[in-house]
Structure 1
Amino acid sequence: MTNEVKLISPVDGRVYAERHYASDQTVAAALDAAGHAQRAWKRVPLAERAAYCHAAVDAMLAMREEIAPELAWQMGRPVRYGAGELRGFEERARHMIDIAPSALADIHPEPKSGFRRYIRREPLGTVFVIAPWNYPYLTAVNSIIPALMAGNAVILKHATQTLLVGERFEQAFREAGLPPGLFRNLLLDHDQAARVIGSGRVQQVNFTGSVEGGRAMEGAASGHFLGLGLELGGKDPAYVRADADLAFTVENLVDGSFFNSGQSCCGIERIYVARKLYSEFVERFAELTRTYVLGDPLDKATTLGPMVKASSADFVRAQIAQAIGHGARALIDATTFTADAIGTPYLAPQVLIDVDHSMSVMREESFGPVVGIMAVENDEQAVKLMNDSAYGLTASLWTRDLEAAEDLGDAIATGTVYMNRCDYLDPALAWTGVKHTGRGATLSRVGYETLTRPKSFHLRHEITS
């Protein structure tokens, strides 16, 4: 493998940035420095850690005018949405900083005469964060800030498609004055990443990516007795009940299906609609989809940018063709989106009906701007279809009935149940999944549990003869 990395922009296919993978000597030095710095960092009071982390967030936000066009060039998201990523970045970071004192506080059982007993949360050591390109600031911050707040050092390996994001993180922490060695961004190839995992010098790996990538993480970690957090994607369903607010539901599900060109692990990929609403829902959904503007993401009029690579767009095209070949109907005329072109990352949004679960578009992750819509007869059929997937990240229910949503949520195999919203992470709630979506959790108080280890103190201070 060549040591040179070329970031190919999906905007026009040009080389947008060139870098070199870190040398093995650089990696070893970074791991040594992380271990050394963390031993001092874990003794730094939480208030001081918080000051450094808040300062890093401030430094990142000060770069917002540069970051939005960088994101467009690196992964294709329209500049009109660039500020949204940083708003989410700040929301998650500030929340995890603010809850750290309570989340990391000692746990005291019921008092026992003659004893002092408590459980302390200790940092793990060095946390290795492997972040993806699709929401490059949001996914990385989920682990980086709480890991540092918990007293750990962090090594970040960002996706090569968004390698400038890792450099932005490093710049922000440098400007915040974070002690040297505590945070390091390294550009690594797959073999180097595997060696870091198996080095014995990282104690937790947080990976966001594909199922195949997750299996590679498990293989590299096998036998090393370290923690492994895996967030591996989804095939997220929505169920529109007969009592749903139709206009509100359509507006939000179209956005949930096509935002970021559908390249979201928690984006809507399949929709089940009560038969009573089905025809009108489909008509309104397709009508709103046709208003999207596919084109240059640097143009503020663009609402749908290119997918990250031509091969990703071709995968979705193949899914659509396979579904149509098996009887599905496409409601969107792709020729009306002039930027759409085979062999390029530019792909028109597509809405499919007359679909069923024999089609890959309803069972296998698409990660692109396509959604299939089916009519269902009742709640039971909807739940059965929603659970008919190898994934379980989020599921959304669209209804006016809170109790029904809670009951249905209990029956759905998923990490998050939404009512009347989708494609959003609340930092106060655990971000987790089931089945092939992965294991572990980030965000919320629960997220701190995977970044610390419990240490029990059982102190007998009264001795009687």
Structure 2
Amino acid sequence: MTTTLNCISPIDGSVFATRETLSAEAARAAIAETRAAQAAWAARPLQERIDLVMAGVAAVGEMNDEIVPELARMMGRPVRYGGEFGGFNERASYMAEIAEEGLADIEVSDDGAFHRYIRRVPHGVVFVVAPWNYPYMTAINTVAPALIAGNAVVLKHATQTLLVGERMARAFHAAGVPEAVFRNVFLDHDTTSTLIADRQFDFVNFTGSVGGGQAMERAAAGTFTGLGLELGGKDPGYVMDDADPATAAEGLIDAAMFNSGQCCCGIERIYVHDSLFDAFVAKAVEIVNGYRVGDPLDPETTIGPMANTRFAAEVRAQINEAVAAGAVAHIATMPQDDGGCYLTPQILTNVTHDMRVMRDESFGPVVGIMPVKDDAEAVRLMNDSPFGLTASLWTRDAVRAAQVGDAIETGTVFMNRADYLDPALCWTGCKSTGRGGALSVIGYHNLTRPKSYHLKKATT
């Protein structure tokens, strides 16, 4: 049985693209072809796989003039920001550069009696379920290293960015990656769960909501299929008493509002030393009042619509609940705010952790700001969350930042920056943000399995 997937454009509510899903039977047949093609792909020399993957990456770059307005129409990011190819290329390039190191045998001993070593071998078929908010960059985090490591890849994108997987597959196939080795599919949720439960995949990487991650775990229960999960976030920023409040506001407010706040590691709550609180808030309000909400196809627009009216309704609900409970909203409703996907970016003060806006994931252009008296209070509040992806610390003292960072339950600690994924570092989270790790050498370790060799040498 097939269903129709509809990508509804947040620009005007029109249907931008439609695709028919595969039935479970058709999907199994396609995956069987992919599984059959994987061994030959893994047998190719490492450098050949690297070259083909990077040629595919370059081919995606050649499409960028088409991709940028297409992304605006699918999920609302303004064209002025130029799409995702910079990060897409940076991440793939870094993983290509470290592939030999990341996949090298671990030599234990080689003497007159034995040769002992551990080899990294591909899982087989890796299933990548990518989100809509950064659909190219989140996908390449796994697609590039998985292919380089010798896996075959099946890619499924969110309905909101329905055309991204097709473009990636077209580019990689044109560059010489076999069609069966890198396959884009359209699947509904039930079929996806059925395929995972049937052990059609050897490793699953999912980026999305906590509920989506729980569905993946339920589907994989008892199959022993490896899972990599990057789920929700409520990332904090902390401005220490020795920071420059204006500089900190510029960094943290951009991290809170860019992409209409729809960033996995966007800043959703900020704690400021009480000596800097008023100056920080004043600068934050000045920055947000300078934004222009509007049509993402207009190069003057700095904040486009949220990707879906449902997402915008959740942000409005959190703001309204907070204000009703005593929070102060600092940004007047902007004329472009239509009550739907287009909404006013908001800064809230007089907030508490009793409010959902400081506790639940918002994933939109709103941030609450609280004063704190010292590092201990800031750490307590930053850890008062079910999530743990990143934390952003603003200070002139790197030693102090590291000490505070050690106490924070998070996957990445930033100092004097935020909302950036460094491909040389493991991208990981804790608590309800998920498990596993992407990129870096650790990314290769998660996309392969260890295989030990204990070779006794002949004595005659």
Range class of TM-score, shorter chain = over 0.9
Aligned ranges for residues 171-190 of structure 1 at < 5 Å?
A: 171-190=170-189
How far apart are 1:111 and its partner, in Å? 4.8
- The answer (yes or no) to whether the contact 1:273–1:375 under 8 Å persists in 2 is yes
- The answer (yes or no) to whether the contact 1:37–1:180 under 8 Å persists in 2 is no
What code does the residue aligned with 1:19 have? Answer: R
Deviations 1:381-423 (A, max 9, x none): 0000000000000001000000000101100000000000000
User: How many residue pairs end up in the alignment?
Assistant: 460
- The answer (yes or no) to whether the contact 2:112–2:457 under 8 Å persists in 1 is no
Deviations 1:299-325 (A, max 9, x none): 000000000111111111110111111
The residue aligned with 1:340 is 337
The residue aligned with 2:129 is 130
- The answer (yes or no) to whether the contact 1:21–1:188 under 8 Å persists in 2 is yes
- The answer (yes or no) to whether the contact 2:2–2:22 under 8 Å persists in 1 is no
The residue aligned with 1:13 is 13
Deviations 1:218-250 (A, max 9, x none): 000001111001000200000000111222211
Indicate yes or no: 2:297 matched with 1:298: yes
Provide the C-alpha distance between the structure 2 equivalents of 1:290 and 1:112, rounded to a whole number of angstroms.
Answer: 70
Provide the C-alpha distance between the structure 1 equivalents of 2:147 and 2:376, rounded to a whole number of angstroms.
Answer: 44
Provide the C-alpha distance between the structure 2 equivalents of 1:296 and 1:191, rounded to a whole number of angstroms.
Answer: 35
The residue aligned with 2:379 is 383
Instruction: Identify which range, 175-184 or 437-446, moves more after superposition.
Output: 175-184
> Equivalent pairs: percent with the same residue?
57
Provide the C-alpha distance between the structure 2 equivalents of 1:165 and 1:75, rounded to a whole number of angstroms.
Answer: 11
The residue aligned with 2:360 is 364
How far apart are 1:25 and its partner, in Å? 3.8
3-state SS of 2:43 partner: coil
Provide the C-alpha distance between the structure 1 equivalents of 2:387 and 2:11, rounded to a whole number of angstroms.
Answer: 31
Gaps of 5+ in 1: none
Aligned ranges for residues 120-199 of structure 1 at < 5 Å?
A: 120-199=119-198
3-state SS of 1:5 partner: strand
- The answer (yes or no) to whether the contact 1:71–1:82 under 8 Å persists in 2 is no
- The answer (yes or no) to whether the contact 1:34–1:181 under 8 Å persists in 2 is yes
Instruction: Identify which range, 305-314 or 380-389, moves more after superposition.
Output: 305-314
Indicate yes or no: 2:370 matched with 1:374: yes
How far apart are 1:198 and its partner, in Å? 1.7
The residue aligned with 1:57 is 57
Provide the C-alpha distance between the structure 2 equivalents of 1:113 and 1:406, rounded to a whole number of angstroms.
Answer: 47
Provide the C-alpha distance between the structure 2 equivalents of 1:225 and 1:4, rounded to a whole number of angstroms.
Answer: 31
The residue aligned with 2:32 is 32
What code does the residue aligned with 2:380 have? Answer: K
Instruction: Identify which range, 149-158 or 18-27, moves more after superposition.
Output: 18-27
The residue aligned with 2:219 is 220
The residue aligned with 1:81 is 81
Deviations 1:424-464 (A, max 9, x none): 00000000000000000100000011110111111111549
Instruction: Identify which range, 242-251 or 447-456, moves more after superposition.
Output: 242-251
Provide the C-alpha distance between the structure 2 equivalents of 1:273 and 1:110, rounded to a whole number of angstroms.
Answer: 54
What code does the residue aligned with 2:202 have? Answer: Q
What code does the residue aligned with 1:314 have? Answer: A
Provide the C-alpha distance between the structure 1 equivalents of 2:458 and 2:48, rounded to a whole number of angstroms.
Answer: 36
Provide the C-alpha distance between the structure 2 equivalents of 1:373 and 1:410, rounded to a whole number of angstroms.
Answer: 23
Deviations 1:285-305 (A, max 9, x none): 111110000000000000000
- The answer (yes or no) to whether the contact 2:109–2:117 under 8 Å persists in 1 is no
- The answer (yes or no) to whether the contact 2:23–2:191 under 8 Å persists in 1 is no
How far apart are 1:255 and its partner, in Å? 0.6
What code does the residue aligned with 2:81 have? Answer: Y
Provide the C-alpha distance between the structure 1 equivalents of 2:179 and 2:166, rounded to a whole number of angstroms.
Answer: 15
3-state SS of 1:375 partner: strand
- The answer (yes or no) to whether the contact 1:67–1:82 under 8 Å persists in 2 is no
Aligned ranges for residues 105-124 of structure 1 at < 5 Å?
A: 105-124=104-123
TM value normalised by structure 1:
0.97
Query: Aligned to 1:433, which of 403, 406, 429?
Result: 429
Provide the C-alpha distance between the structure 2 equivalents of 1:4 and 1:276, rounded to a whole number of angstroms.
Answer: 55
The residue aligned with 1:289 is 288
Report the aligned-residue RMSD.
1.2
What code does the residue aligned with 2:396 have? Answer: R
Query: Aligned to 1:454, which of 443, 447, 450?
Result: 450
3-state SS of 1:42 partner: helix
How far apart are 1:106 and its partner, in Å? 0.3
The residue aligned with 2:45 is 45
What code does the residue aligned with 2:423 have? Answer: P
The residue aligned with 1:423 is 419
Deviations 1:133-164 (A, max 9, x none): 00000110001010001100000010011010
- The answer (yes or no) to whether the contact 1:8–1:16 under 8 Å persists in 2 is yes
